[in-house]
Each structure stands twice: as C-alpha cells, then as structure tokens.
Amino acid sequence: MREIVLDTETTGFKPEEGHRIVEIGGVELYNHLPTGKTYHQYINPERDMPEEAYNVHGLSIDFLSDKPRFAEVGQAFLDFVGDAKLVIHNASFDMHFLNAELRWMGLSLLPMDQAIDTLAMARERYPGSPASLDALCRRFGIDNSARTFHGALLDSEILAEVYLEMIGGRQPDFALSTASTNAGAGQSDWRPKPRDKALPPRITAGERAAHEAFVAKMGDAALWSRVQ
C-alpha cells in the first residue's frame, strides 16, 4: 500500500481570499515504511507575502520570486501523488488549498476520501489531549527541535513518524487486535504510554557503521539521512 505523508505552506487561511500555496512537501511510505522518496517544491504565489505568514514559515517573496508557479508544477505533483492515500494533519485545510489551485488550472481534483486526517485520528485516540503536531511529538518522544519554522518537507517527515506511531509503530499489524485477544472486559481502551526515558542503544559500533554505510549508498534523498 502506497501512502504520501503530505504538508503544504500557504500565504494565509483561505484561497477564496486570494491566498496561495508557497510550498509542498511529501514523504512516500510503502506498507507503512519510508521508501526514501520525497517530493518538495517551493512555489511562487504570484502575490505579496503577509507578515504573519512569513513569521510562520520564514519564506519571503524575494526568495519565492524565481520559483515556479503552481501552474507549472501542478501536473507533476498529481503524477507523484497518483492514487496513493494522502496522510495529512488537518487534511481539510491542505486539501481545500490543493483543490483550489488544481481547479484554477483546470486539472482533476483530489477526492477527500483519498486523505487520512491525522488530526482527527489524534483527537479520537487521545480525547481531551492536545493534538497539534508538536504535542504529538512530545507524546511519542519524537525529536522536532529542527522545527523552528513550519517547513513542508520537514513537517512531512515528522508527521510520518507520528503517523507510524499512531498506527502502532513501523509494524502496525504486529500488535494483537481487540477482536483476537482474550483480555478481560474494560481493557479494550488500553493504549501504550510513551517511555519516561528512552531505551539505551542495543547495537554495536560495528553494526552502526554498517548501517551508516548502507544509508550513504542510498544518497541524500534517503529519509534516514535527514531524520535522526
């Protein structure tokens, strides 16, 4: 099963008010494992950059002025996505912007049922708890210290880790389901809690060196080269 963990950055909150997408980032998963293949594109919004938007993602109109317009990259984006499920935090926001841009180009729209909303997943699984990406990173002990600005590719990489944790780690089907367990009544709501202290490494120096050599052969596009 192919999935794309996706994020966009925009000049504002509503495309109906003239706001546009300025960055798209995506991380490919296959059977819930990162393949190392990513999509990343800065986009010229063809408009000014509000100060509040600059303060969020740190992208200036000067930086974006020589980047391609959405009309120049929209089809390539659709080709990358294909029919993969789109894993998005607050999916309605990103899908609304993407479909607005695609509609202005006269291209096919992305159906909402193609999206998996991790914000809705988090609110359902942890009712009453904060469900922002930063809050979920704290819950799962995921390092997001590089997230000084909201960057589409970095946020997609972080969200990929969060998503895999929410579905049961990198082997989501390994855990016993409540349908097949003999656990007593009242235990079906149990959820594992993050460890108070991370486990110490269990690999040897030789194993670590062999892994680093293997990742190096995959090139700079490998997810493991950027996410520790």
Among 163, 145, 167, CA closest to 154: 145
Closest CA to 7 of 111, 150, 131, 164: 150
Of the two residues 165 and 197, the one the predictor is more confident about is 165
Question: What three-state secondary structure class fits 203?
Answer: coil
Lowest-confidence segment of 19-23, 24-28, 77-81, 198-202 by average pLDDT:
198-202
* DSSP conformation letters of 16-70: GGT--EEEEEEEEEETTEEEEEEEEEE-B-SS---HHHHHHH---HHHHTTSPBH
What is the rounded distance in angstroms from the CA atom of residue 220 to the CA atom of residue 203?
24
How confident is residue 205, by pLDDT bands cut at 50, 70 and 90?
confident
pLDDT per position as a tens digit, 43-78: 999 999 999 888 787 889 999 999 999 999 999 999
Stretch 86-96: mean pLDDT:
98
Residue 78: which of 51, 48, 45, 101 has the closest Cα? 101
Residue 50 in tokens:
């509000």
Q: How confident is the model at residue 145 (pLDDT cuts 50, 70, 90)?
A: confident
pLDDT tens by residue, 99-113: 999 999 999 999 999
* Strand 21-30 to 115-117 pairing: unpaired
Q: Residue 218 pLDDT > 90, yes or no? A: no
Q: Is 185 helix (H, G, I), strand (E, B) or coil?
A: coil
Q: What is the pLDDT of residues 71-89, one digit of tens each?
A: 999 999 999 999 999 999 9
Q: Which residues are identified as catalytic?
A: 150
The answer to whether 109 touches 102, Cβ cutoff 8 Å, is yes
Q: Give me the amino acid identity at 191.
A: R
Percentage of the chain lying above the pLDDT 70 cut: 79
Q: In 3D, which of 88, 128, 126, 95 has the Cα closest to residue 111?
A: 95
All structural domains of the chain, each given as residue ranges with its CATH number in brackets, are 2-172+194-199 (3.30.420.10)
The CA-to-CA distance between both ends of the chain, in Å, stands at 25
